[in-house]
Structure 1
Amino acid sequence: MNIVDIVIIVGYFVFIAIVGLIGAKKAKTSEDYTVAGRNLNFFMFTACLSALTLGGAATVGTAKLGYQFGLSGMWFVCAQGIGLILISIFLAKKIFHLRVLTIGEMLENRFNVEARLISSLVSATYTTMLTVTQIIAIGSILNVWVGWDVTISILVAGGIVLFYTVLGGMWSVTMTDIVQFTVMTIGVFFIMLPISLGKVGGFAGLQENLPSDHFNLTVMGGVDIFKSILLYTLGIVVGQDVWQRIFTAKTLKISRVGMIVSGGYSFLYAIAVALIGMSALVVLPNLSDPQNAFASIAISVLPAGALGFVLAGVLSALMSTSSGTLLASSTLIVNDIIKRLFMPTISERKFLVVSRITTFAIGLFSIVCALWIQDVLVALDIAFAVLSGALFFPIIFGFFWKRVSSRAVFYSIIISTVVIGISLAMKGTTSIVPIFFGLVTSIIIIFIFTFVESIRKSSANDIQLKQ
């Protein structure tokens, strides 16, 4: 890389750290730290939600799929956009008025404390794994572009995310996300996409140089597209990281409209990055690892200065998602387990201290895991399979079916999580079987336990009447 690019990257890291420090001054209460005081306006909310969902996995992963399958690779990110729109239409009003901090709190209010604890453990596993995916992507990008060792790349960029998230919580995350959303939008839509297309002769050049299948939206196959919707649409609907952002909006209208706009932005982002991946196939047809498609074409086609800015944009996507999911994991552990079980009368000051310590510990754990799991999409599949398969039906039935019992929800989460884990071990992370088995197990357990509970209550009432 040119010295200009390196200066831009280093300067960007320093700037983000400073912005995070400024945000840290606002985190004075538990709600400040976890949901930014529930006070974000439309632009702040929409920018932060978009930055959260369109992370490094979305950028690196979609470019990889675009390289391999063409426009059909857009389904991965489009599925997340669909999830945001569905939340806005069907759940936003219910979620916004809960006035809680986590999904687990909602489940305890609706069912019991056991449902809260088990759901929080599952959700924390999901959000932590999402953090891992972003750190993996950071290592991949910096290794290809800057030439740094993967371990050094993870420690530097991951350390900066850990630094500002630990200090300022959601306020630091919000302020850095606004910067990161702006940089990633300019980098992808106004620099990387037009230069990449220009290098191959525009869209006509892609059509001339690529197989016709690369312009078929279903070439990935119905099973893989259905898998994307099961994993990512359902995962977004019941994701603590997304819910936590909904709680940050100042009004219900801001949250609903912001989610629709963010969902639409996801579609545009998916198309843009898939086209970049397709351009990479024309320019660099023999890449040994398609996961490096985005980084490799950037090095090949971007001039000095522009390369540094685009890299800053990609790092923005990585860091914004990793900080959001890291904070979500911390909130689940502190609010739903530590505070609920061990420190019910904890003061605001101690809550902040415990939150920062927990965030730091989860961040270190995520960095270690990232060094073990090297594929972004594999880690992401594991995360969404566990979340969607185990929590989707308990949460949806909690909102829309009054008869479902607390025992049904509790055992549904436990048993479906076990089934998903066994299926992942047997069938692999690329199979649709684990998520399908998890969903089927979840709904069957819910119906069985609710039906048995209904019969038991009916029998008890009959006995009382006879007496």
Structure 2
Amino acid sequence: MINLAPVDQYIILAYFLFTLWLGFGRKNQSESTENFLVAGRRVTLPAFVASLVSTWYGGILGVGEFTYRFGISNWLVFGVPYYVCAILFALFLAGVARRTEHYTIPDQLEKVYGSKARTAGALFIFLLALPAPYLLMLGILLHLILPIPTWTGILFAAGFSLLYIFRGGLQAVIRTDLLQFVLMFLGFIILVGTAWTQYGGFSFLQQKLPAQHLTWHGGNSLQYILVWYVIAMATLVDANFYQRCFAAKSEKVARRGILVSVLFWLVFDFLTTTAGLYARVLLPELPDPAQSFPRLAVFLLPGIFQGIFFVALLATIMSTLDSFGFVSALTIGRDFLWRLRGGDDASLNFYTRIGLLFTFSISVVIAITSSSIISIWYQLGSIATPALLLPLLTSFSRRWKMSPTAAFVNIIAAGGISALWIVVSLVSNQMPFGVDAVFPGVLLSGIIYLIDAWFIKKDFS
């Protein structure tokens, strides 16, 4: 446990109280479906950027661990592929997504492929958006700075986030994200600035770091790095990207918002990667690399600034927790419960709130029974990405879309084979044929698409 001074503990308490006030203090003027689910489709460019940027960085402790262990390859693995996919999303998907005026991704699947594909896709979207890894991360962080067990921190984080989302929906999420955005940048600017001032810049790091930490691969195999590039394609089917586009004030806001967000992600990646490198140099014998950022803050920062930095860590994770929790709950509420009960618009907010309770309950169970944050990401991403990628992306084009039957089979089969691959690897303690789970799913998805295109529906001549 890290023993923080009372003033730092008060700063953390003030953060939670202010976040609760932002999220809970102002009720929507109207309880309409659009206000609760897509913020009235009035989200402006600054709010869009702040919300999307902060939502995308919930894995902050994992970023610290990866940089501590593998150096600048963190940027190549967790930066570059996501920038590329986000730019592609902005150029080709953001505008058309806003134009649809949907509430969820399964709405698009149903419009193009029918109810079977919608239901199958909704299941994988729910799994991909589950906030379990972020609950686990918050539980670990709260255990690190407070005299409570990890499971208590998980329960507190779930209950706290649930309170204001339950009341205000996406509007509450976006209001709190504005605060989280400012705090996450402030904290890491303070940390990196202090390290730079006290020890020197890149020349100091270059002299002190292991040579492998300055290579593009960091000692990892090419296959390992390629797996993360494939998983980065989950950006193209990420429910939070679509949700922000559905809620944007205009198509222009959606497109520009994502492009501006990429610039902020690049800056934040520079800060976090640099901080991880300083941690590797200044704390070379750290027993748990996942604690590299918190331990570096305690090592470098004086009182008050320690509190600000820990608030930055909490804000970075909280912004992702509430966003993923909301879209997962919306998937359960709209695409399962609401449709099963007849699809009455007046009851959609009610079923979304039921979805919130279900989502956070199952996420708490997963978080408490899991020990690895990265393994949760890896397994869920490896299953959902091949299931959704081609059916969803091609659904926006009349020429390239799949047939309804092929789309349904693709979702079930591609996701299923990746899930089976993971089960076999867990039982045998090794990947079948040494191949990671995402690749057979992507390969099968491509085969199904080509069979559908060549022999069933399309004429490429």
Deviates more, 1:332-341 or 1:111-120: 332-341
How many corresponding residue pairs? 448
- What pairs with 1:251-290 in structure 2 (closer than 5 Å)? 251-290=250-289
Which residue in 2 is equivalent to 1:114? 116
Which residue in 2 is equivalent to 1:306? 305
CA distance in 1, matches of 2:446, 2:83: 25
Q: Is the 8 A contact 1:26 1:168 kept in 2?
A: no
State the superposition RMSD in angstroms.
Answer: 2.0
1:384 aligns with 2:387: no
By how many angstroms is 1:42 displaced?
Answer: 0.8
Which residue in 2 is equivalent to 1:373? 370
Question: Pick from 44, 47, 68: which aligns with 1:44?
Answer: 47
CA distance in 2, matches of 1:142, 1:281: 23
Deviation by residue 1:371-399 (Cα, 9 ceiling, x = unmatched) = 11122211111222122111001112222
Q: In structure 1, give the amino acid aligned to 2:61.
A: V
CA distance in 2, matches of 1:448, 1:257: 37
CA distance in 2, matches of 1:200, 1:309: 21
- What pairs with 1:172-251 in structure 2 (closer than 5 Å)? 172-188=172-188, 190-219=189-218, 220-232=220-232, 234-251=233-250
Q: Is the 8 A contact 1:20 1:164 kept in 2?
A: yes
Which residue in 2 is equivalent to 1:463? none
Which residue in 2 is equivalent to 1:29? 32
Deviation by residue 1:303-344 (Cα, 9 ceiling, x = unmatched) = 111111111111111111111111111111122222223222
Q: Is the 8 A contact 1:145 1:299 kept in 2?
A: no
CA distance in 2, matches of 1:339, 1:452: 37
By how many angstroms is 1:26 displaced?
Answer: 4.4
CA distance in 2, matches of 1:448, 1:297: 53
Deviation by residue 1:98-152 (Cα, 9 ceiling, x = unmatched) = 1111111111111111111100111001101xx1111111122222233432122
Q: In structure 2, give the amino acid aligned to 1:437.
A: P
Change (3 A) 1:198 1:227: farther
CA distance in 1, matches of 2:394, 2:276: 40
Q: Is the 8 A contact 1:34 1:101 kept in 2?
A: yes
Q: Is the 8 A contact 1:81 1:262 kept in 2?
A: no
- What pairs with 1:77-226 in structure 2 (closer than 5 Å)? 77-128=79-130, 131-188=131-188, 190-219=189-218, 220-226=220-226
By how many angstroms is 1:38 displaced?
Answer: 0.7
Runs (5+) with no aligned partner, structure 2 = none
Change (3 A) 1:198 1:372: farther
Q: Is the 8 A contact 1:404 1:450 kept in 2?
A: yes
CA distance in 1, matches of 2:26, 2:322: 13
CA distance in 2, matches of 1:27, 1:265: 33
Q: In structure 1, give the amino acid aligned to 2:385.
A: S
Which residue in 2 is equivalent to 1:359? 356
1:18 aligns with 2:15: no
CA distance in 2, matches of 1:27, 1:331: 18
Q: With the length of structure 1 as denominator, give the TM-score of the two structures.
A: 0.91
Q: In structure 1, give the amino acid aligned to 2:248.
A: A
Q: Is the 8 A contact 2:33 2:345 kept in 1?
A: no
CA distance in 1, matches of 2:457, 2:231: 32
Change (3 A) 1:454 1:258: closer
By how many angstroms is 1:448 displaced?
Answer: 2.5
Give the percent of matched residue pairs that are identical in Structure 1 and Structure 2.
26
Q: Is the 8 A contact 2:227 2:436 kept in 1?
A: no
Deviation by residue 1:227-269 (Cα, 9 ceiling, x = unmatched) = 221102x101111122101111101111111101111221222
Deviates more, 1:372-381 or 1:172-181: 372-381
Change (3 A) 1:89 1:444: same
Runs (5+) with no aligned partner, structure 1 = 458-467
1:69 aligns with 2:66: no
Q: Is the 8 A contact 2:36 2:168 kept in 1?
A: yes
Change (3 A) 1:224 1:403: closer
Q: With the length of structure 2 as denominator, give the TM-score of the two structures.
A: 0.92
Q: In structure 2, give the amino acid aligned to 1:183.
A: L
CA distance in 2, matches of 1:315, 1:27: 31
